[in-house]
Each structure stands twice: as C-alpha cells, then as structure tokens.
Amino acid sequence: MMKSIPTFNLKNRDLRTPRQKARAKQDKVICDCYLRLKRAQPLVSPSRIMAEIAQEAGMSAPGIRNILLRHGVYKKTKTQP
C-alpha cells in the first residue's frame, strides 16, 4: 500500500529569505523614486536621475539601471552606430 504524500498549505506563506525580502523592498523604493522623479522632471535624462538615486542609495548608477531594467521600469534603447 502506498503512503499518501502530505499536502502543505503554502499559499499565504512568504518563503523568501530575509535577504530576498530586504532586496525586494529596496528595489521597490528605487523604482518608485525613479518614477516619481521622472514625472516631476520629464526633461532630465534617465541616466542623470539614476545617478542621483545611486548617490542617495550608496550604489552605482549601473546598479540602479539594472534594477530598473529587471523590474521593467526602464527600457533599453538602441544606440546609434
């Protein structure tokens, strides 16, 4: 006779590690900040906004760019040859 496999109710449990939760929270703050600044100052270049956020967050501008790309907030543009 086969043993039944126990079922787990994991729908409402957050299985992320504390580090993953902290990173998600930080990413959300960065994305919200970028969108808020972009709406407030539409003529400022995206790279300048990313540099300002990076300075405040203690990160690099490429790091901020990667977060924005990963979350779909910023889209890559093709460079001219």
| Domain positions in the chain | 18-70
List pLDDT tens digits, range 18-34: 999 999 999 999 999 99
pLDDT tens, position by position, 53-77:
999 999 999 999 999 999 999 988 7
Per-residue model confidence (pLDDT) at position 70: 95
**Cα torsion angle, 12, 27, 46, 41, sign:** positive
Give DSSP secondary structure letters for 47-63. Answer: HHHHHHHHHHHTS-HHH
What pLDDT score was predicted for residue 2? 63
- Find the radius of gyration of the CA atoms of the chain: 19
CB 31 within 8 A of CB 68: yes
The DSSP line for 12-41 is T-----HHHHHHHHHHHHHHHHHHHHHHH-
Q: Residue range 4-13: average pLDDT?
A: 72
How high is the pLDDT of residue 80?
58
Instruction: Give the pLDDT mean for 9-22.
Output: 85
